[in-house]
Structure 1
Amino acid sequence: MHKEPETKSTSTRDTAPDPRPVRIVKRTVLILLGPPYFLVIAFAPLLCARRRGFRGWYWRLVKRACSRLLWLLSIRADISDADKRALGSDTDSIIVINHRSHLDGFTLMDAIPDTKWFTFAAKKELFESPLLRTGFHGAGLVQIDRKSGKVAMETLTAAVRDMPRRQSVVLFPEGTRTGTQSLGEFKAGAVVVARETGRTIRPIVIRDSDRLLPRRKFSPKSGTIRIDVMEPFVCDLNASVDEDVARLRATMMAVFDQT
């Protein structure tokens, strides 16, 4: 489980995992071979979605692709063995993670062990794309209609209630990438769904991804992204939803603000 991290100096955090010549070679390989490789992954659902066991092997394929992308970018996910074990044995939870940059999803896919079954929620509009629809359904993503908050909550709650205990949906409580130095305000969705389904919340704090890929930047720097897995958060049904949301945010803030 999460423990007090050792203080890391800025110079240590800014050190890339690979020397400059290696980084140049890796990025060259990514530029040359990346597009056809990721096109194969994108089109695989159109050809294989009806095959037996598709969801399982396709999800693992996507996870491997995320790990390879970070490796070629010389980006390392720093997560302790204890935190990996905690996630690997996690059940009956909703995963909640703060959102710093476009690297967050890739890093989470790389860091979470294969023994943990999880999925993401995606807005309904993305499912309307013929290319994305098959892959999203095949990977088991949860479709959310964000035009109506009530419908979105009902859809998400029903999806989570029907999930096996060992599967979790990943939610970003801030709703979007945060440009502030601290955490943004949390929306109530994760807490509402947890209270309705009786699941706990597994908070995950991610740091430094925005340092490697700030807003309006398209080429990430090399470096390390830190991930801390926290103890399960249990909603207090005797308290209000807003009180639970505030308590969850304060719990994650205490870890995020550590250097």
Structure 2
Amino acid sequence: MLGVLLVTAPFDRGRYTVGYLFRQVARVTVTLNPLWRFRTGGQMPPDPRRPYVVVSNHESFVDILLISHLPWEMKWLSKAELFRVPVLGWLMHLAGDIPVKRGFGASAAEAMARGREVLARRVSVMIFPEGTRSTAAELLPFKDGAFRLAIDAGVPMLPIAVHGTATALRKHDWRVSRSKAAVRVLQPVETAGLSAADIPALKAQVRRMILAARDELAVELG
């Protein structure tokens, strides 16, 4: 990946290519695991270089592996601790992912500024608006950051829903279990003309979309 970065850096300031190659590691990991059966669905964006703020519910660490099967590159807003994990953290840095320290306002502001830079380079940003993995059936409250970023940058939201990963790798338990899981890409939600005052309504709309799609996936997966 370092070689790819050095070759592509002069004409790929958004690190789209090196990031996309990094996500292929996730695909290989899933392919090599006989316990997991993952699939993707929904309406994929026709232009992979049109930037979106992509948001999803969050069931498991394995969500990252599942969502990485989608056919376009996104820079992930991830907790800073992951960037200190050997190999994984190094690859995330190379890919151009965005670290954020929980509970530090300055770190969150810096992450949002990085997010705007990424979007300006025509690369999407991926955020879990719940902020952490949920162990309950109900979605956790959505935080404002992703929605504020989309409005400030003037780009659409792209909701996606995941289901089934909670059984693949449970929170606080690194034992891998059998799982059927799916991710579905939903309709984009435009933010043109919106302001900070519209964030509550935008959050509610996107949350309803994700919840409905997640429940549909639960029925389909059985």
TM bucket normalised to smaller: 0.7 to 0.9
1:253 equivalent in alignment to 2:208: no
Distance 1:185 1:208 in 2: 20
Whether the 8 Å contact between 1:153 and 1:193 is mirrored in structure 2 is no
Partner of 1:51: 6
Q: 1:238 to 1:216 in 2, by over 3 A?
A: closer
Identical counterparts, % of pairs: 24
For residues 116-148 of structure 1, the C-alpha deviation after alignment (integer angstroms, 9 at most, x for no partner) is: 221112334555678666433311011324342
Once residues 174 and 191 of structure 1 are traced to their aligned partners in structure 2, the CA distance between those partners, rounded to angstroms, is 12
- CA change 1:100–1:125 in 2 (3 A) is closer
Question: Residues 1-259 of structure 1: matches in 2 within 5 Å?
Answer: 45=2, 48=3, 51-53=6-8, 58-74=18-34, 75-80=36-41, 83=43, 85-86=44-45, 89=48, 91-109=50-68, 111-113=69-71, 116-127=72-83, 134-149=90-105, 151-163=106-118, 164=120, 166-235=122-191, 236-237=194-195, 239-258=197-216, 259=219
TM-score (ref. length: structure 1) = 0.69
RMSD: 2.8
Conserved? CA contact 1:202–1:231, under 8 Å = yes
Amino acid at match of 2:174: F
Distance change (3 Å), C-alpha of 1:76 and 1:90 = farther
Q: 1:103 to 1:233 in 2, by over 3 A?
A: same
Given that residues 16 and 123 in structure 2 are in contact (C-alpha distance below 8 angstroms), is that contact kept between their aligned partners in structure 1? no
Question: Is 122-131 or 156-165 further displaced after alignment?
Answer: 122-131
What stretches of structure 2 of length at least 5 have no aligned partner?
Answer: 10-14
Larger radius of gyration between Structure 1 and Structure 2:
1
- What's the CA shift for 1:73? 1.3
More helix by share: 1
Report if aligned partners of 1:96, 1:201 keep a CA contact under 8 Å in 2.
Answer: yes
What count of residue pairs does the alignment treat as equivalent?
Answer: 208
Distance, in Å, in 1 between the alignment partners of 2:88 and 2:215 is 37
Q: Partner residue of 2:12?
A: none
Asked if the contact 1:202/1:232 (under 8 Å) is kept, the reply is yes
TM-score by length of 2: 0.79
Q: Which runs of 5+ in 1 are unaligned?
A: 1-43
The 2-side partners of 1:221 and 1:87 are apart by 34
